[in-house]
Amino acid sequence: MIELEGLTKRYGEKVAVNNLTFTVHPGIVTGFLGPNGAGKSTTMRMMLGLDNPSAGVVRVDGKHYSQLKDPLTYIGALLDAKAMHGGRSAFNHLLCLAQSNGIPRGRVDEVLDTVGLTAVAKKKAKGFSLGMGQRLGIAGALLGDPEILMFDEPVNGLDPEGIHWIRNLMKSLAAQGRTVFVSSHLMSEMALTADHLVVIGQGRLLADMTMSDFIRQNSRSYVRLRSPQRERLLDVLHEAGITAVEAGNGTLEVDGTSAEQLGELAAGHQLVLHELSPQQASLEEAFMQLTAESVEYHAHSDPAGTGAPPPTEGWGDGWQQRKGA
Ligand SMILES: Nc1ncnc2c1ncn2[C@@H]1O[C@H](COP(=O)(O)OP(=O)(O)OP(=O)(O)O)[C@@H](O)[C@H]1O
């Protein structure tokens, strides 16, 4: 497992990582989320001993990274797919890593095959597309057959087949009992991959919980109802002390009562329902709800520079400032 205790990183006045304490457990995929500049990459770099903490500690299997003998056999990481010698072939890049970590040469062919780069193994990495570079970085992470794997934005640049492949790869690594820690801005992808989430904002821990608890705690869930006998349904709900909100197109939304209870209530009054569907917010909605306060970088939503007022809510402060308000 990976343990962080009071991990802090300051760059001058800027506190990039602020007193983070959490544990990444084996056997599951843990997603690491946060808005731009939240401190995810800085945290991952400290986990790998690439940056020194200003305070606090990180332990990988109970040890500091620098105390690990042949570290690639303990923890494999993809941090930056471009961080490789472009003049080397994929095979030679992996061979150098293997030789400096006591890993047998045969393992290079194995991981090239796993990531689907065997056919281009002799080609120079500088000619690789972003997606091929990601695959090569993932091959490097897998090289030492480590129990702990860490991926920073692994699906960046991958095509749909590649995204599907990495999702299954991470799940299967976790199913083998390994510790898998992955950051991504693609919420829909994270929702399909991660079992547990660690969320940070402005360097601080905002959440450390299961995916389902995270969505439940940070979003509204409700039941949507539609009936050709809408007025009678409203009366029945009212009599039962249940508040329904009209949601347009003849649909009603009910908070705090399960679909089962509503279905039985309707059946008990012989009411026809055309829809009875529990609605749960997406991970993206829950993430935006939780991190709204800690988003540092807001886009201006007036790219044409027309000065037109914002059409919807949710603008940052920038528009008002530009208007001189
Ligand atoms: N070497 C550095 N010197 C000064 N400030 C830095 C340095 N590295 C990171 N920072 C600052 O620390 C903060 C956290 O950056 P970091 O790259 O860790 O965030 P992140 O969550 O990975 O962001 P993103 O999602 O955009 O990749 C940012 O404000 C960044 O500008």
Provide the pLDDT for residue 68: 86
Provide the pLDDT for residue 314: 34
User: Which residues have a Cβ under 8 Å from the Cβ of 269 and sit 6 or more positions away?
Assistant: 232, 236
Of all atoms in ligand 1, which is nearest to the CA of residue 200? 21
Provide the pLDDT for residue 109: 93
Percent of the chain with pLDDT over 70: 89
pLDDT band at 140 (very low <50, low <70, confident <90, very high): very high
Provide the pLDDT for residue 160: 87
Task: Quote the ligand 1 centre to 322 CA distance (angstroms).
Answer: 26
144 CB under 6 A from ligand 1?
no
**Distance between CA atoms of 187 and 302, rounded to whole angstroms?**
25
Whether 4 contacts 58, CB under 8 Å: yes
pLDDT at 87 over 80: no
Every domain of the chain and the residues it spans? 2-216, 220-280
The torsion region of residue 162 among left (phi > 0), alpha (psi -120 to 50) and beta comes to alpha
**Distance between CA atoms of 245 and 274, rounded to whole angstroms?**
17
The three-class DSSP label of residue 279 is: strand
**Which residue lies with its CA nearest to atom 29 of ligand 1?**
37
Q: Which of 32, 40, 182 to mutate to test the pocket of ligand 1 (most atoms within 8 A of CB)?
A: 40
Hey, what CATH topology would domain 2-216 get?
A: Rossmann fold (3.40.50)
How many whole angstroms from its chain centre is CA 233? 41
CA angle 70, 144, 22 (to 5 degrees): 80
The CATH number fitting domain 220-280, selected from 3.30.450, 3.30.70, 2.170.220, 3.30.310: 3.30.70
The H-or-E segment that residue 176 falls in is none
**Distance between CA atoms of 172 and 69, rounded to whole angstroms?**
26
Whether 72 contacts 146, CB under 8 Å: yes
The reported pTM is 0.80
34 CB under 6 A from ligand 1?
yes
